[in-house]
Amino acid sequence: MMMSSSQMGPARSSIHRSSAFTLLEMMLAMVLFAVGTVAIMELLQRAHAGVADGENVLMANHLALRRLEELRNVSFTSLASEAKAPVTSPSGFSRFSREAVVTEPLTDLKQVVVRVSWQAPGGETNVALQTYVSKN
């Protein structure tokens, strides 16, 4: 008994769809992976720069506060401005420079501003702290 083609079920196509990836799919996946990798690397680079900037601000605040405390222990009459110069004490902070500006806004009252500067990628950056010292 012979069956007709309509009785045999759906006809098989001569072109079979394989479950493997095509070259085009692989290239698209590689491009997406490359774009994602570049974006992540850029994010990591910016995060690293942010951490370095935060560290510089923290160290500059520390150096300014340290000098401010030293100047508060100087006698009122000896308290004077200091020109901008590289930080030598404590050692290891030569990338920072520091200056102190002393003004006398009122009689028997001096304003002390300590400014610590350093070179950042966008130019010179600084942190300034101030206090007041009275004669009494």
For residue 44, the enclosing domain spans: 23-134
pLDDT of residue 57: 93
Residue 42 or residue 93, greater confidence: 42
Number of domains in the chain: 1
Phi, psi of 98 (to 5 degrees): -140, 145
Q: Does residue 75 lie within any of the structural domains? A: yes
The overall pTM is greater than 0.75: no
- Identify which of 87, 77, 129, 132 has the alpha carbon closest to the alpha carbon of residue 109: 132
Peptide bond into 121 cis (omega under 30): no
Q: Does residue 113 lie within any of the structural domains? A: yes
Question: Which amino acid is located at 40 in the chain?
Answer: I
Q: Does residue 77 lie within any of the structural domains? A: yes
pLDDT of residue 14: 52
Q: Does residue 116 lie within any of the structural domains? A: yes
Residue 16, pLDDT > 70, answer no
pLDDT of residue 33: 95
pLDDT of residue 91: 79
Residues 6+ apart with CB under 8 A from 125: 56, 117, 118, 119
Which CATH number belongs to the domain containing residue 96 in this structure? 3.30.1300
Least confident piece of the model among 9-13, 27-31, 45-49, 108-112: 9-13
Q: Does residue 14 lie within any of the structural domains? A: no
